[in-house]
């Protein structure tokens, strides 16, 4: 697979299917693993890092489940390619920063991706559409077991998997769910919900993970604690929390429909109108308006546009995607024009 | 609007910073924004938080900890406090004494209940299971879930018999 093949490719997790896919965009499991007695990436010298990369890529090639995957060395990718992978949620922003002996392995369906020499030797992720944490964990667990046959992982029986940062020690697992919560934001209940989440030791982040602001009413919720509970317990906890938030969002949506239908319809239709007719539009504005259109779809107020098209637009409207689609570097102004064009084409009924 | 830093490119990133209750606004072009964000991450990273969390019960321990060093990778505890990352898996053994309270603060626990790699399972599964079960028994009793507790007690007996 070539990197550019991803451009014309439907990511499995963007399909807009799976349980609660009106509110839950995607579910993701991330697992951190390190090689026993080998210096962690930030502490390794060049030779060690090179060796680690070799050993891991070799092991990955022996895993049956990953036979349809491609290895990309970050040193061989340019800045736009790296940003492109970040925008597709296949890679972290941190991984894109320095590229020495870093690699990323991407499975053809984009369900699985593995970062080599990120903060830990291995950062593996499995993505699924909708609220599907347990299915994601099943896949992840099998890959982890297969790799453990090839590699000796750093592990203490009492403390579990040992990671570069003690915040990941134990299971080394984060389960995270991407939610679209426009009604809770509109009715100003979101802060109450977010502060309740924080009290239960879960973390909320924006569309692109650590340190990003939430835009387009997207919230990523994940577990903070990785030690002291089994993987299943942790996922059970996130799952039941997410179900409650989904319920709250649903209630808010129904209440808004009941009380302020005209206002809601007005906002949604105006958003749709701008997206269908704008010729220059920023990332931020597109996100906000698309969010309203998606809500309109969910509520049946906008017909003829499917969730998948909208989910895809949320990704391809980002700078690196626009530049890859055009196959050249674009200035921020050119991108705003290009973005408006793509949105207009995709939303034309 | 031009970028406040380079004054050359169009500003596309707008940053609000609050330092000592003083709010400042910065308008940056993409290039300068990238530099700025790298700077900010360095200024206040996770390492600061972690270092703050790793408080010691006795002042003598803090002195002692500075010279502690991992024999496998050469990282010292002082390095860890500075960068907030350990050097290798063996560091966990080398700094065990200091990491126990830290893990407890971060996770509220110092005992792993999750899966183990296939290789380890053979050697230490029983030991892990027993520790985990005893802990669960304790919790069940505290929660007055006696039916659950009885089940766990039977499992413990069964495991002990096998050893």
A179-188 pLDDT, tens per residue? Answer: 999 999 999 8
For residues B41 and B151, the model is more confident at B151
Q: Is B12 on the interface with A (CB under 8 A)?
A: yes
pTM: 0.82
Q: Whose structure tokens read 């096998």?
A: B162
DSSP A250: H
Instruction: Give the confidence band of B43 by pLDDT, cuts at 50, 70, 90.
Output: very low
Cα diameter, chain B = 77
Q: Is B48 on the interface with A (CB under 8 A)?
A: no
Q: Span B71-88, mean pLDDT? A: 92
Residue A257, sorted as left (phi over 0), alpha (psi -120 to 50) or beta, turns out to be: alpha
> Among A284, A257, A278, A269, which Cα is nearest to A345's?
A278
DSSP A111: S
Q: What pLDDT shows up at residue A213?
A: 56
Q: What pLDDT shows up at residue B37?
A: 66
| Beta carbons of A157 and B83 less than 8 Å apart | no
For residues A10 and B91, the model is more confident at B91
CB nearest B103 (choices: A144, A169, A233) = A169
Residue A335: count of CB within 10 angstroms of its CB = 24
Q: Is the pLDDT of residue A175 over 70?
A: yes
Q: Is A230 on the interface with B (CB under 8 A)?
A: yes
Residue A98, C-beta contacts closer than 8 angstroms, at least 6 positions apart: none
Instruction: Give the confidence band of B123 by pLDDT, cuts at 50, 70, 90.
Output: very low
Instruction: Give the confidence band of B18 by pLDDT, cuts at 50, 70, 90.
Output: low
Residue A344: count of CB within 10 angstroms of its CB = 15
Q: Span B101-128, mean pLDDT? A: 77
What is the nearest CA distance from A87 to chain B, expressed in angstroms?
Answer: 16
Please tell me which residue of chain B has the smallest CA distance to A283.
B12
Angle between helices A46-61 and A133-150 (to 10 degrees): 110
Residue B38: count of CB within 10 angstroms of its CB = 11
> Among A251, A233, A120, which Cα is nearest to A184's?
A251
Q: Is B114 on the interface with A (CB under 8 A)?
A: yes
For residues A1 and A104, the model is more confident at A104
Give the helix/strand (H/E) hosting A80: helix A79-87
Q: Report the share of chain B in percent with pLDDT over 90.
A: 20
Q: Span A265-282, mean pLDDT? A: 96
Beta bridge partners of A30: A125, A174
CB nearest A228 (choices: B50, B85, B108) = B108
Beta carbon pairs, A and B, within 8 Å: 134
Q: Is the pLDDT of residue B163 over 70?
A: no
Q: Is A43 on the interface with B (CB under 8 A)?
A: yes
pLDDT tens digit sequence for A59-75: 999 999 999 999 999 99
Rounded Cα distance between B111 and B104, Å, is 9
CB nearest A157 (choices: B12, B72, B128) = B128
> Among B14, B37, B108, B6, which Cα is nearest to A283's?
B14
- A chain contacts of residue B50, beta-carbon cutoff 8 Å: 165-167
Q: Is B75 on the interface with A (CB under 8 A)?
A: yes
What is the nearest CA distance from B106 to chain A, expressed in angstroms?
Answer: 6
């Amino acid at each position: 697979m070539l990197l550019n093949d991803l451009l014309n490719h439907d990511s499995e997790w963007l399909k807009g299917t799976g349980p609660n896919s009106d509110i839950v965009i995607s579910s993701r499991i991330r697992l951190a693993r390190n090689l026993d007695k080998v210096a962690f990436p930030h502490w390794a010298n060049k030779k060690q890092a090179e060796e680690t990369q070799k050993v891991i890529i070799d092991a990955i090639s022996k895993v049956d489940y990953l036979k349809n995957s491609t290895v990309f060395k970050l040193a061989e990718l340019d800045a736009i390619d790296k940003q492109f992978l970040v925008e597709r949620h296949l890679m972290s922003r941190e991984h894109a920063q320095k590229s020495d002996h870093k690699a990323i392995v991407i499975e053809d369906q984009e369900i699985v991706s593995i970062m080599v020499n990120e903060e830990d030797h291995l950062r593996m992720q499995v993505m699924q559409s909708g609220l599907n944490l347990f299915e994601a964990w099943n896949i992840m667990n099998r890959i982890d077991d297969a790799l453990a046959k090839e590699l000796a992982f750093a592990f203490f029986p009492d403390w579990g998997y040992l990671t570069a940062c003690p915040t990941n020690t134990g299971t080394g697992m984060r389960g995270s769910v991407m939610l679209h919560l426009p009604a809770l934001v509109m009715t100003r209940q979101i802060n109450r919900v977010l502060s309740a989440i924080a009290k239960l030791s879960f973390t909320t982040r924006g569309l692109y993970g650590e340190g990003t602001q939430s835009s387009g009413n997207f919230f990523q919720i994940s577990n903070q604690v990785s030690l002291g509970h089994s993987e299943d317990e942790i996922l059970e906890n996130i799952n039941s929390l997410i179900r409650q938030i989904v319920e709250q969002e649903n209630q808010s949506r129904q209440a808004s429909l009941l009380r302020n239908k005209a206002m809601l319809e007005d906002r949604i239709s105006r958003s749709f109108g701008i997206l269908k007719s704008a010729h220059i539009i920023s990332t931020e504005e597109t996100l906000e308006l698309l969010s309203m259109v998606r809500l309109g779809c969910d509520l049946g107020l906008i017909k003829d546009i499917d969730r998948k098209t909208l989910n895809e637009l949320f990704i391809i409207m980002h700078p690196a995607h626009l530049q890859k689609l055009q196959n050249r570097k674009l200035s921020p102004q050119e991108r705003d024009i290009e973005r408006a064009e793509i949105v207009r084409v995709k939303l034309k009924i | 609007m031009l970028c406040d830093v380079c004054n050359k490119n169009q500003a596309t990133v707008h940053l609000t910073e609050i330092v000592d209750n003083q709010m400042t606004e910065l308008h940056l072009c993409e290039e300068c924004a990238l530099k700025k964000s790298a700077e900010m991450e360095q200024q206040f990273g996770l390492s600061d938080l972690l270092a703050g969390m790793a408080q010691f019960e006795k002042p003598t321990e803090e002195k002692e900890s500075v010279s502690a060093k991992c024999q496998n990778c050469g990282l010292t505890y002082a390095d860890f406090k500075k960068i907030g990352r350990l050097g290798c898996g063996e560091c966990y053994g080398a700094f065990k004494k200091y990491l126990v309270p830290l893990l407890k603060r971060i996770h509220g626990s110092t005992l792993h209940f999750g899966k183990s790699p296939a290789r380890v399972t053979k050697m230490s599964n029983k030991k892990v299971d027993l520790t985990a079960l005893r802990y669960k028994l304790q919790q069940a009793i505290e929660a007055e879930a006696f039916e659950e507790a009885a089940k766990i007690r039977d499992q413990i007996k069964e495991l002990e018999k096998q050893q």
